[in-house]
Amino acid sequence: MLCSIPASRASSSWLNRLRASKGFPVPSDLDLEQFLRPSSIPNPTSPPPELDVAGLLSARPPRSRKKHPPLVDPPAPGKRIGDDEELQLFDLMRNALSDLFVMGDPRDLAARRKGLRKQMNPRACVPSASASVDCGASRAALETPPSSADNSVAEAQKGRTKMRKRGTGGQAADSDLSAYSRTEVTVIDTSSSAWKSEKALYRKGMVWKVREKKVGNFCRKKRRLGLGEKIADKKRVRPLADLKGRDLCAKLESQDERCTLIDNGANAKEFVDHCQMPRRPKSWRSPRLPQKSSSPSKSSLPFRLQVIAAKK
């Protein structure tokens, strides 16, 4: 939002609305530059300052609060100094804006009016990708991208510090993965409880992010757990259609991303049903297949239906 603030009076109506919404007064002769100057800081008695500043900063990542502590810069000589609250409010405002733009020294703000209107070096607001490279890792330090993690201890430690400041900023980082290439991978890891898992892998250069794909177990084969299941397994007749259905599931999964994002049981069940629907073509069964005495007079279709019913 703030990126698009022009300093012209012509379009000040929305700016006034913004100011009003944030609790700042809306004088008719106040433009952005005056607003930014220490001398033009409005009377702090009218709005509740703490509340406003907190509201303004809440839109930004928490790290900026640590990165820009209030009252860092001493006031420039010759500058008209207001009371402490005014100065604090100004610094917070400046910090908020300088986190989004490369602002330069505020002391020569007046000398570079045009530079303020049009940012010469806009800072990219993309959340850092090193934030949540992996989910569930215990040591955030080692989740820095390989460019730093692989190369030096110093950089690894730097990354560690950054991660601490960022805290749980993973969700914010999730929102912008458009710059990343996406690859779907099937990973087998014998150290995880379910050996096989589907993951979405995002890559930008040397930065990798991994996200779990929430897939139901509808494509996995039932595992043997105990004697009861073993007996059931013995009775089980697994027609090849089942296998074909599974293959089809896998194909659907890879073709349509939405299929893989289902995470509730109802949807998963729906897919089970869909997976069972496809039947092998009639020509699959060889006419030379010897007919066994167990089903001599039955056609293949009723037999299959019977199997499915038994399974349910």
Least distance in angstroms from the C-beta of 251 to another protein: 9
Q: With respect to another protein, which residue has the nearer C-beta, 162 or 199?
A: 199
Least distance in angstroms from the C-beta of 152 to another protein: 6
Query: Three-state DSSP class for 160?
Result: helix
Query: Three-state DSSP class for 202?
Result: strand
Q: With respect to another protein, which residue has the nearer C-beta, 39 or 192?
A: 192
Task: Return the number of other C-beta atoms located less than 10 Å from residue 59's C-beta.
Answer: 9
Q: Are 184 and 135 spatial neighbours (Cβ–Cβ below 8 Å)?
A: no
Least distance in angstroms from the C-beta of 235 to another protein: 11
Least distance in angstroms from the C-beta of 249 to another protein: 11
Least distance in angstroms from the C-beta of 192 to another protein: 4
- 138-172 burial code (b ≥16 CB/10 A, e <16): eebbebbbeebbeeeeeeeeebbebbeebeebeeb
Side-chain half-sphere CA neighbours of 242 within 13 A: 13
Q: With respect to another protein, which residue has the nearer C-beta, 79 or 304?
A: 304
The first and second tokens of residue 52, run together, are 């406003």
The first and second tokens of residue 283, run together, are 């020509």
Q: With respect to another protein, which residue has the nearer C-beta, 8 or 254?
A: 254
In the numeric block, the tokens 């092998």 are attached to 280
CA distances in angstroms from 207 to 3, 149, 154, 166, listed in the order given:
27, 11, 18, 17
Q: With respect to another protein, which residue has the nearer C-beta, 112 or 221?
A: 221
Least distance in angstroms from the C-beta of 269 to another protein: 22
Least distance in angstroms from the C-beta of 240 to another protein: 4
User: Among candidates 304, 286, 287, which has minimal Cα distance to 295?
Assistant: 304
Least distance in angstroms from the C-beta of 175 to another protein: 21
Query: Three-state DSSP class for 208?
Result: strand
Which residues here bind another protein, judged by CB under 8 A?
133-134, 136-139, 142-143, 146, 149-153, 156, 181, 183, 185-192, 195-196, 199, 201, 203, 206, 208, 210, 221, 223-224, 233-234, 237-241, 243, 250, 254, 285-286, 288-292, 294-295, 300, 303
User: Among candidates 250, 198, 194, which has minimal Cα distance to 222?
Assistant: 194
Q: With respect to another protein, which residue has the nearer C-beta, 9 or 238?
A: 238
Q: With respect to another protein, which residue has the nearer C-beta, 22 or 251?
A: 251
Q: With respect to another protein, which residue has the nearer C-beta, 41 or 219?
A: 219
Euclidean distance between CA atoms 158 and 149, whole angstroms: 10
